[in-house]
Amino acid sequence: MSARASGDVGSFGRTVVYLVRHGQTPLNESGVLRGLADPPLDETGRRQAARLGAALGPRGLAAVFCSPLVRARQTAQPVAERAGLEVAVDQCLLDRDYGPWTGISRESVTDRWGSVDRAPGVEPRQAVRDRAVYGLTGIARRHLGATVVVVSHDAVNREVLAAFDAGLGDPDAIPQDNGCYNTLEWRGGRWAVLGVNELPAP
């Protein structure tokens, strides 16, 4: 898929997607692989979610989508409340599944297998990228000409950003702080990345 937006809008319109990484949880500082583990936001994460609500909620949103995991739903809720919307859950936005290594330190898995990608039972990167791109493209097509917020996870967001803009390089090197958002544009059937790892004002 091309990473650059077309100058010819045609009948496709323009969709702006704010792709958010959820707020902080107790596991974010632990160094373990989180994946489908389902902790809630901690106090810092709740403050980050509130700031996202204040920053993104008033932007004339048509919809708010999120991963089914609690940390994503809790991050999406203040945005949706500020916008007067309900949160819609989309399975395509689910975090990467680390299988039996969920809750194990990244370092120990890397020491044993050489990389997390080589560990048996881990969802392949390409599978994460394919389902997330499919989900985001479907959201953009359903909301042509509108602005939406999508709350997902760092492993998912990095794959999406790399897919939409090859110039960003290695997905693992793309910054994604807790409570950040990335600005994406769908225009003329193509994606463009307009902003990466943006943080709302404290």
CATH tag, 14-198: 3.40.50.1240
Q: What distance in Å separates the CA atoms of residue 47 and residue 149, rounded to the nearest whole number? A: 18
- Going from the C-alpha of 95 to that of each of 12, 143, 149, 200, the distances in angstroms are 29, 23, 17, 23
Amino acid at 73: R
Residue 121 pLDDT greater than 80, yes or no:
yes
Pairing of strands 63-66, 147-152: parallel
pLDDT (mean) for 140-163? 98
Give the global pTM: 0.93
pLDDT (mean) for 5-31? 77
At 8 the pLDDT is 33
Q: Round the average pLDDT of the chain to a whole number and report it.
A: 93
Residue 11 pLDDT greater than 70, yes or no:
no
Residue 31 pLDDT greater than 90, yes or no:
no
pLDDT (mean) for 96-120? 97
Residue 12 pLDDT greater than 80, yes or no:
no
Within the chain, what is the greatest distance between any pair of CA atoms? 52
At 120 the pLDDT is 98
At 3 the pLDDT is 37
Pairing of strands 190-198, 181-187: antiparallel
pLDDT (mean) for 168-187? 98
At 130 the pLDDT is 98
